[in-house]
Each structure stands twice: as C-alpha cells, then as structure tokens.
Amino acid sequence: MTGQAIKVLFLCTHNSARSILAEAILNHIGQGRFMAYSAGSSPREHQQPNPLGLQVLRAAGISTAGLRSKSWDEFAQPDAPRMDLVITVCDNAAGEVCPYWPGQPATAHWGYPDPSAGEGSDAQKLEAFRQTLHALRGRLELLVNLPPEKLEKTLLQATARELARGS
C-alpha cells in the first residue's frame, strides 16, 4: 500500500449520520494517506446527510463539500474504487450480508449509538452529534497515526479490529 492512499469505506444503514461523519473526519485528518467514503445498506429514497451532522462538522472546521447519502451498491460496481478497509459504524449494518467487495478488503466493526435516534431538545440532539463526532475522531486519529507497517494489507484487518477494542 505504500505510496497510495488507503481507501476506507464507512457503512451504516441509512448513510445519513455516523458514516457521513466518519467519511468527512477521515478525509480531513487523513493527511492524504487515507481516502474515505461512506454508504448505507438501505438509504431511504432521497436520503440526505443529517443537517445536525453537517452542522457539527462545519463547527469543527471540517468540510462538508461533496457529502451525500448513497447505497453501498455503488461500491460493489466494477468501476468503483477498490477499498482497502470497510468499517461498519452501526450495529444494524454490521449484521447485514454485505455485497462482495472487489479486492477483498479488510473489515472491522466500530459500533456507535445513532445520534439521530435520540429524543430531546434541539440542543440535546446537537450534543449527541458532537459526542459522536468526538468519539469517531478519537478512533480515526489513532488509525491515522499508526506506523506504516501496521497499515500493510496483511495487518490492516487486525489493526482496525484492535482499535475497536481499544476505545
């Protein structure tokens, strides 16, 4: 993998909150070593990224340009970018049968509660998104700061799964 960006796909059910946050954060902090994407197993028709998620990303100084909700089917197409790592960030998507991923990428599950599922005031909902952003960012900073040998294809799956246990 030396010299090329490590391609990471984040999966969730609707691709509107956690996976979108993870994509934006990793592209922001990945220093060109990572290229992040996100998708959903079953995004709703006309699904859009959650506005509160976009708001917390912008407040954190992270670009929201180009973020959109999409089906994971886009990444199973022959002309799709080949992923090195596929990470589910919600428990529903982790339990679903995934499409065949060209190139047999490493896989891991990093479960986070859905910040869009909570009840409460607008301020409480926004805080749930902030907490999810900070939790994702902490784990993604660990990934980004791993030594290159931990990111070699043969070790990537074990490394990604160790990060799930470590936080």
Q: What is the mean pLDDT of residues 79-83?
A: 90
Q: For the chain, give every domain's residue range.
A: 6-157
Domain at 6-157, CATH from 3.40.50.2300, 3.30.70.360, 3.20.20.140, 2.40.50.100: 3.40.50.2300
Closest by alpha carbon to 116, among 10, 25, 16? 16
Q: What does the pLDDT look like over 87-138, one tens digit per residue?
A: 999 876 555 556 666 777 888 889 898 998 878 888 999 999 999 999 999 9
SS3 27: helix
**Residue 156 confidence class, pLDDT cut points 50, 70, 90:** confident
| Overall pTM > 0.85 | yes
DSSP 73-131: GGGGSTTSPPPSEEEE-SHHHHTSPPPPPTT--EEEE-----TTS--S-HHHHHHHHHH
Q: What does the pLDDT look like over 55-65, one tens digit per residue?
A: 999 999 999 99
Q: What does the pLDDT look like over 11-57, one tens digit per residue?
A: 998 899 999 999 999 999 998 999 999 999 888 788 899 999 999 99
